[in-house]
Amino acid sequence: MAASRNSPHFDLARWPPAIASRSVGDETHLVMSDGVSFHRVCLRDAAAGRPLASLIPCDALLDVRLQALAGLDRWLRGARSAAQPFGPTAYQARRLQLLLAILNLRQDGEVTSHMVAQRLVYPRLSIGQGAAWKSSPERRRTQRLIHEADALAAGGYRTLLAGRAGRQK
């Protein structure tokens, strides 16, 4: 953020309350929410009335970091935040693909959780049968994934489309 008359100055008393706060040495770490996204801020040598400066790593996430900084700047100036422009992470995208594959497989008729595990969740693992399968952690994980896929199909996808924050998977 460039220092100007309109730029936010450090005055913690005038900032929205932090969800979490921790001070370590000369650093204060804050987590704040604008109702759309979380802002994680590290204040170093923060003295009241001084203009804020930002340190942003120039890495593969530079565009995302700049968007997040712009959102924080707008929010600290009192503007309402726009919807979060970020898509799912690579892990979240793979998980959603797996959930959709589970739904597609189960749509084709009577498919057991053992079949789902063999074909989609653990395709390279020799999973047991009978009592070994019933007591396995692979079975419990497969059942959780099936339940999550069903919840997604029953309307959970609307949360994804709306961009609302939910439980991180």
The model's pLDDT over 31-45, given as tens digits with 9 standing for 90+, comes to 888 777 778 888 887
Does the pTM surpass 0.85? The reply is no
pLDDT of residue 168: 41
pLDDT of residue 2: 38
pLDDT of residue 82: 54
pLDDT of residue 95: 92
The model's pLDDT over 63-111, given as tens digits with 9 standing for 90+, comes to 778 888 888 788 777 776 555 556 677 888 899 999 999 999 998 788 9
Domain boundaries, the chain: 1-86, 90-162
pLDDT of residue 162: 53
The model's pLDDT over 112-165, given as tens digits with 9 standing for 90+, comes to 999 999 999 998 888 888 888 899 999 999 999 999 999 988 887 777 665 544
pLDDT of residue 15: 74
pLDDT of residue 138: 92
pLDDT of residue 169: 43
pLDDT of residue 146: 95
**Where is pLDDT greater, at 19 or 168?**
19
Could you give the 3-state DSSP secondary structure of residue 7?
Answer: coil
